[in-house]
Each structure stands twice: as C-alpha cells, then as structure tokens.
Structure 1
Amino acid sequence: MVQRKWGNDQSPPGSFARKQARGAAAHARGLHAEHAAMAWLRQNGWTILEHRARTRWGEIDLVARRDDLLAFCEIKSRPSYGEAAECLTPCQMRRLANAAVALCAAHPDWLCGQMRFDVLLVVADGSVHHIADAFRPEM
C-alpha cells in the first residue's frame, strides 16, 4: 500500500477549494451560455416558456415556442464549436426525451403541431450556433 503524505482525506492540501472554484466557474459559464441562448432565441422570434424546466427525469435548459412549433432546447458551452457539438450523449438524449414527455403531460397547453429537440452551442467568443431538430428520440 502506498502511503500518502497528505493525511487521512487522501487529497492534496487545497484540492477541495480548487474543485469548488472550478465548479463555480463552470456554473457561471453555463448560466452565461443559457442567457446568451435565450437572447438569441428571442431575437429570432421565439418565446421562452420555461428556463431550467425540472422534472423527475431531469432538467431541460429551455423550452421555447415559435408559431406552432415547440422546441426543447439543450444548451452547451465549450471553447469551440466542434467540442460543443460532440458533447450530447445518447444517455442525455434519452433523459431529455423523458423530461419532455413529463413536461408535455404537466403543460397540455404547450402542445403544438410540431415538437422537436434543438441544441444551442455557445462557444468561447460568445457566438450562438443553433442546431434545429438536433436529434429524434426513439420512443
């Protein structure tokens, strides 16, 4: 067994504080990205119905409506477009689909002729890239 010199918690001094600081910075970046995405959607004719819609299945970042179209939006913030575009996993897609079903059941007035899942990518320079109908869940 390797003996560590850091004490009983097995972590180097200050690592908890660094982890907390990284978490706080990531949270702040996420909020900034969500607000940038909301502004972009509003500028493009969308009405935001809910921000951070929570269900027992998880959270949907934004629910937006334009005309007879309802979009469940996932916001991703990464340094580059490529990194942001690759970060939505199949597990997340299933979670989003289940959360969308729960939200539609809770808000029957939201039902529209068309519903889809969009992804809004916010990159380091602050630009927003909208991927409409980004995925179709298997139901």
Structure 2
Amino acid sequence: MTAGKGAPRGDARIAAPERVAAFRTGLSAESRAAAYLIAKGYRILARRFRTPHGEIDIVARRRQLLAFVEVKARRSLDEAAYAVTPRQQQRIIGAAQVWLMTHPEHAAFELRFDAMLIAPRRLPRHLLGAFDAST
C-alpha cells in the first residue's frame, strides 16, 4: 500500500536520521555546557525545562544569580551566536517566567539570560547577558 490516506501509520513516529543526529548533538552540547558552567562555579538547577512557551536548556545558579542559558551548537562559534533569534529569545523569556513561578524561592535572585556557544574542537564560549527580558 502506498503512503497517503488509509495507509498504515506504523512508521509515522520514526524520526528521520538527521533529526536524531541533531537531537544527539544538542544533548552532547548541553552536557558540555553544563560541565563548563559547573567548572565555573555554577550549580545546575534544571536542564531542558519545557513549558508551552518554550524550553530552557539550562537553569544555573551562582550565589544570588540565576542564569537561564540557551545552548547552541554549530560548525563555528559565529554560526552558533547567530542561531539565537529574537523569536527564540522571547520564548526563553516566557519559559523563564514559568520557571520562576514554579520556583518562587528564586524570585529575588538577580536574573540573567546567557548563551553558551559550542563548536567542534573549540572551548565553549559563554556569553553573559546575551539578551535581556526588556528586548
């Protein structure tokens, strides 16, 4: 039977190989970013925090600072930097608001939106205050 209406949907949930590879690359990049943050004295509070507004890759704390970190892995650090779009920033800000509502004990902390750029054979680049909630 050919694909189309009435065709069995048994394999409809199988992800394309490129999507699986991208997912694995993302997980690896997030692990590298988390290790980097830990080495810099941050404590990881959450990873891959999902909300209807968007997802936060990493929520990290250092003293009274709460960092919402977007991790981008690309072939170069420059490509990674350009991958954090304004639309995505707004989704992260919305997700951060949800995170803060569900974790009121952190409401008085200083908040910052960072980006962690990951590229092959390069150290991660941590962009402090890559964007802010007022933009």
TM-score bucket of the superposed structures, by smaller chain: 0.7 to 0.9
The 5 Å alignment of 1:23-34 reads 23-34=19-30
The reply on whether 1:122 has 2:118 as its aligned counterpart is yes
Aligned partner of residue 45 in structure 1, secondary structure: coil
Question: Residue in 2 aligned with 1:65?
Answer: 61
Contact 1:69–1:112 at 8 Å: present in 2 too? no
> Matches of 1:52 and 1:8 in 2, distance apart?
34
- Residue 81 of structure 1 corresponds to 77
CA distance in 1, matches of 2:72, 2:126: 11
CA contact (8 A) 1:70 1:111 kept: no
User: TM-score, normalization: structure 2?
Assistant: 0.86
Q: Secondary structure at the match of 1:95?
A: helix
1:106 to 102, 108, 115: 102
Please give the TM-score of this superposition, normalised by the length of structure 1: 0.83
Equivalent residue number for residue 8 of structure 2? none
* Distance apart, 1:126 and its partner CA: 4.7
1:9-56 C-alpha deviation (Å, 9 max, x unpaired): 7xxxxxx9xx71111111111000000000000001000000111112
Pair member with larger Rg: 1
Structure 2: unaligned runs, 5 residues or longer: 5-11
Alignment of 1:9-48 (within 5 A): 20-48=16-44
Percent identity over the alignment?
A: 39
AA in 1 matched with 2:109: G
SS in 2 for 1:49: strand
Query: Aligned pair count?
Result: 125
Shift, 1:112, TM fit: 3.9
